Chain A
């Protein structure tokens, strides 16, 4: 069955760095775009970043652009999120999720996530 397993979370001081991983199994990892989504304690879901199936394209939310880097190693079926210059407001559970598209005959494609990991908690605190 499909599994996405995040790891690498923990407690880190403001300004420091952390790298998250998301290990995939049960899917042909190299054929799908994958996203990072986060959720601050008691708050809603926030889209963070996406990487294309081959790693050639990456996009980021304004809140993390320039500080976070999404990457992947298709030979290891693993997604990464390098988080630098961490802030208190980056404290959240971080999820990886598989990107899918629903396309109409008119050519419009609407995104959705069909599989999610269980999340890994990042706490930024002094």
Chain B
């Protein structure tokens, strides 16, 4: 099975921009989706497909991808964006799925 690797932690000053990356071979064929998870809560979808946001997700969240790397960008980070973020995609072996290792975002 393949893996999706994320940086364990990043920090960003309030109002500044932060990019979270997700690397893995399976991303060469599929878009990653991204999930925000706050302590004690279920994950919430923030991005799917190329850069689609579900209803209610602020437009400061965007995504991009290149080769085996997917990225989630928060432009103008807010205090409420402090959370763990996970990418997700298909595994390189079909019909299996994999989450990234997760990135803790701290807003300073």
Contact = CB atoms under 8 A, between A and B. Distances in A.
Contacts of B54: 114
B97 A110 contact: no
Contact of A114 (B45, B89, B95): B45
A110 B48 contact: yes
Interface string B78-108: 0000001010111000011111111000000
Contact of A45 (B29, B30, B44, B102): B102
A104 B65 CA distance: 14
Interface bracket on B: 20 to 34
A26 interface: no
Contacts of B99: 37, 44-47
B95 A102 contact: no
A50 B102 CA distance: 21
B61 to A, nearest CB: 14
A61 B98 CA distance: 9
A102 B30 CA distance: 9
Contacts of A46: 99
Given A111-B88, A112-B88, A118-B42, A59 B98 contact: no
Interface of A: 35, 37, 44-47, 50, 57, 59, 61-62, 95, 100, 102, 104, 108-114, 116-119
28 contacts: A37-B99, A45-B35, A45-B43, A47-B98, A50-B95, A57-B95, A59-B96, A61-B1, A61-B96, A95-B43, A109-B30, A110-B30, A110-B31, A110-B33, A110-B89, A110-B90, A111-B30, A111-B88, A111-B89, A111-B90, A111-B97, A112-B33, A112-B45, A113-B88, A114-B48, A116-B43, A117-B42, A118-B42
